[in-house]
Each structure stands twice: as structure tokens, then as C-alpha cells.
Amino acid sequence: DSGVTQTPKHLITATGQRVTLRCSPRSGDLSVYWYQQSLDQGLQFLIQYYNGEERAKGNILERFSAQQFPDLHSELNLSSLELGDSALYFCASSVDSRGGEETQYFGPGTRLLVL
Amino acid sequence: QKEVEQDPGPLSVPEGAIVSLNCTYSNSAFQYFMWYRQYSRKGPELLMYTYSSGNKEDGRFTAQVDKSSKYISLFIRDSQPSDSATYLCATDTGRRALTFGSGTRLQVQP
């Protein structure tokens, strides 16, 4: 158990809908990262938040957005869902020591199926 | 060219074999390298982390970085059926996010 929690574990929805995925980082970790894992694209970085502020953006679609709250939990919002958004969405967290590499610990993921 | 390339496998070995998993990376400026293990339907789990060049050993696992050839390896000694998983190499490209290889699926046959 990495200490990172994600809810829900599974989500089934229809095209055009909007969903919210939730992540609680490990105790003491200030940074939260969101990744998408699909069969054709592999594990890809979406966005990072540090202590409530957006720090880095990856291959995140405009239909997707995220935020990190004062209690450091984070939410990833996916809207106008398409079939191709079906994937595993992972949250990871790190301490963010600013001194070099930041080991990221991954949560169990949310499996999204868009029908 | 992808920043990190990894042979997807699958790789099937008998129990007790030495397993060698490999990745190449594109940018000689990359310094931090990780190996994650991912069981089916689970999140990636950090196995090994190395900085710059050299070897790092942890139990049955050895991570190796060869910066001259931009090659990273993970060796598993005395492989067990419980080692059956997908192994992902990753690097911190300096943009505060990890870039992953596509993963190699390993099956250790009892």
C-alpha cells in the first residue's frame, strides 16, 4: 500500500458526460501528479499540482482540468467524455524536497469506461 | 523519437532464471532513472531508483545505468512466479514529471 488513495475504483459513464476523480496523497506529500494509462499510449503524465498551485502540464486535453484543495487532496475533472477517454487514471504524490529527484508513489487508480 | 524506449515483450522465463529488462533513453541530460513494477489492474510500485551512472542493488534486484550508451537495465536474480508483472522504466526529464517506457510484460513460469 503506497499510502495514496483514489476514488472511485471503477467508473462507467456515457459519452458527453462529466466525471470527477479524487485523490488523497500520502501524509506529508505536497505534490500531486495525474497520469493516464491506456493500451495504445502507455502511462502518460497529465498535470502536477504543488501545495494548491498548478506546477506542470503534460498531455492534458482542454476538456480535462484538475485542482488541489487546501487539505492537499486533488480532483481530476473530465468533461465531454469520448470513447477514447476510457483508460486507467492514476494519481501519484511526492514530498517535493526541491533538492533533486522526487520519488513518486502511485495510487491504485480509477478505471474509467466510457460507453 | 520517444524519450524512453522499452521492449514490450512479453518475456517468459522459468522460475529461478536471471531476468534482464532494458530501456534506452534519448537525452544524455537525464539523470534520474526508476523502475516500477505494475501488477495487473494495480498502480505502479517503485522498485528501484538510480541517479546518474552505476549500479544499485536491492535484494534480488539490480538496477544499472550506462550513460555512455544511454541504456538502463534491471536484473532480477532467482526469479519467482510472484515477479510476473509489467516492469516500467522511467526517467525524470526535468519537467517535474516522469516519462515512462511502454513497459515489458514478464511471466515467470513455475
- Optimal mutation site among B42, B98, B99, interface A, most CBs of chain A within 10 A: B98
Task: Indicate the average pLDDT of chain A.
Answer: 92
Residue A46 CA from chain centroid, whole number = 7
Mean pLDDT of B89-101: 83
Q: Identify which of A58, A100, A111 has the shortest CB distance to residue B97.
A: A58
Residue A41 clears pLDDT 90, i.e. is over it: no
Mean pLDDT of B37-63: 91
Please indicate whether, in this complex, the C-beta atoms of A42 and B100 are within 8 angstroms of each other: yes
Please indicate whether, in this complex, the C-beta atoms of B46 and A55 are within 8 angstroms of each other: no
- In one-letter notation, the amino acid at residue B36 is Y
Identify which has the larger pLDDT, B93 or A36. A36
**pLDDT confidence tier of residue B31, bands split at 50, 70 and 90:** confident
Predicted pLDDT of residue A99: 52
Name the nearest CA neighbour of B106 among B87, B80, B93.
B87
Based on the number of CB atoms within 10 Å of its own CB, is A111 exposed (0-12), middle (13-18) or buried (19 or more)?
Answer: middle
SS3 content of chain B, % helix, strand, coil (to 5): 5, 55, 40
Q: How far is A80 from chain B (nearest CA, A)?
A: 25
Length of chain B, in residues: 110
